[in-house]
Structure 1
Amino acid sequence: MEGRNAFVTITVFMLCGNIKGLNMNDVCSTNDNTCKTPSISGVEIQKWGKCSKTGVLLRFQEKTLLECGQECLLTAECTSINYRSNKNLCDIVSSTSGGNYIDSDSTCFNSDISNWHKSLAGECADHTCAAGTKCKFDKQNGIIDCVNAYCTDLPLTPNAEIVERFGLYRNFNMANKYKCRNGYLMIGRHFAICRATGDWDVLFSCIEGEEFNGHRYFFQNEVIKWDDAKNHCAGLSASLVAVGSEEENSWIREHASIHYGSPYGECADHTCAAGTKCKFDKQNGIIDCVNAYKFQKNEVIKWDDAKNHCAGLSASLVAVGSEEENSWIREHASIHYENVTEIWTGFKFILFEGYRWHFNGNTVTPSYTNWEIGQPGVLGACVQMNLNDGRWHNKYCVISTHFVCEQGNTV
């Protein structure tokens, strides 16, 4: 032969004589020795280092090469096999519309089943089965039948991609692992399972987050404790929101209100003047502004006692939501409390959460702050307003001072 240096990219080998090491008993009649010992003279074309990543119907472990070819001949729509001899891993592959995606894989080779001798299928050699099934020979009754074997369709997994090393496969009751594409968050478990009914059970959905300044936010419908919320976010490969600017804080507040509804009900879009609060009269359907602040002239008490005192008045310690309100409270507190320089506010530090307003049994992230220079400091968790300039500083909560109660807090 001329061209001794010619390079051949496919290997052709012969299977001659009786096949040894292949179990033909499951596909042949008990007394059919010819079926059990086929004499094969054919070729199998193997594409070394190449395997189909798509179109995998079934995946088997601990199969010999000949057993893998036999499975393909028995399985409807199988057109080739992937085989990894280092793992004895067998893929039963079908052709896909537009062609299969062939991946380079040094541990694998692909073989077209049309080059395999159909006698390896035994009694099923000339029997055709519908998609989703494989041929099975009942030796006891001498009946050839088609039994369900795999899911015929692919799972519907919008905005997700498979992360199985060798691609998706469709064995019954086997789970394929997925991940969401960039910009999407997975809700649920990471798996799609081909059930024995032939239907896919997708255990997740990928939701699109909302983007702001290069960050993506996902609003959850869970109502849980802080630690549970932290772990919930971690399970989604995310973290509890961290606010880095006033602009970001306002954006989060606005969009959280859209997702969760306003905590202020009918008063959400109603504006009242400083010193008043919005009140909705359900019986008459009227929204009105009424006096909101209660100045406690004779009480000089600790923060917790002040909080409880206000609660007894169906109110809360004052919560400041704007510069205008801050100025109004400072001015009127100075009038009500002569020679008083500080009052308690409802602002208090919570471990792992930071400073938050406390009112109506809830804690709320501030939309406005007015700290003194160098504040907050490290001494004390409760916040006072300085009536000389309206600035805020933190103090030990056990200090006794004056305070203001507010009804209908809407920071």
Structure 2
Amino acid sequence: MTHQDMRPRRVAIVANNLHTYQIKIVCGIRDVLRDNGVDALLILGQALRPPNTGTTPANDIYDLIDARNFCGVIVLSTVVGPQISDQALSAWIQRFALPVVSIGRPLEQAGNVLIDNVPGMSALMTHLLDTMGYRRLAMLRGIPGNADSDEREAVFRSSLEHRGLPVEEDLLMTGDFASVKAFRLVQQLLERRRDVQAIVCANDDMADGCVRAINAAGLRVPQDIAVTGFDDAIHHVVPALTTVRMPVYEQGREAALMLLAMLQAPTSPVRPDTRVLLAELVVRDSCGAGEGTSRRSRCPAPPRCPPTASRAIWRSPSGIGWRCSTTWPRTRTGTRRFWKPGTRRCPVVRSSRWNTRCGGTSSPVSSTATASIPRWPGWRWPHSRRWQA
């Protein structure tokens, strides 16, 4: 039996957490390794700290990775070492004395599987600036020092500068790739100013928090503010998120295939390979270009107030209300208590029906207008299609 046959057929996958990004990569790695009869063990620590800043006890788990237990290592270097340099991270992986593949960052003495952010981000900015015509854009960047976040921010800045548009520093926010922090930052932004036309997020999680903050402020996506993400990692956001698709699952597969090739020729003098995958733009509804609309905006538009009416309240089946006046400025309250101070509350119909109440002379809604309004399964009109006096 050779020494190669005696090595454990187990690969260590090093990550810092299990969010959507990490899960998709791990699934790609697992599928390839399983097909080749190799086990995988996920080692979850925390992000590495810069030198001379102390150690994290949770990272002692990395000491379990050695030649007695594993035959190779795949490191999600983008999330494991966001605060340290490529040189420091390259020195750190040498402790394993095993074949190593890095995902996301180019490291010395390791195989590398990278994604080129520039083409996808450039296509996104071109779509927003040239196709959609937005001129005042904000950005939610990721973790400071993260290579992917820095690349996306650089493209954001250069795209504005190339078109002679100013880069307003107060519109550049650091969301750390976190939905909760993005929600808070966008809330603060909308308290300061509401002239922003679009918010570009460095990942989909922050875009999710951004959409929720805009809705909470009584605004609509994309009618009032457009939102875009990056990664194409989550699909529950309403409206459907315009984003840049990262081949994350393919990254995991390529990393596993590269490591298996390295294990088959452990003494090969050839330098470890580097493979670069491309990101692509995916246009959906949240930027204002998609044909569909969000779930909240699928409710039929309320009929225009008659000229003699002073104000009205309309309520959709989804529980989202608007207050209107003769000039019809639609403002969504975003809550079930759809009336506002100074607006008369309609006691005529309950929440399962449309509420319409006009101060002044009542005026019927034409049959042509009501015929174009879509129905839902099981929907029942109120007792009258007329404005309630």
Normalised by the length of structure 2, the TM-score is: 0.26
Radius of gyration: which is bigger?
A: 1
* TM-score, normalised relative to structure 1: 0.25
Q: Which has the higher contact order (CA 8 A, sep 6+)?
A: 2
- The structure carrying a bigger strand percent of its residues is 1
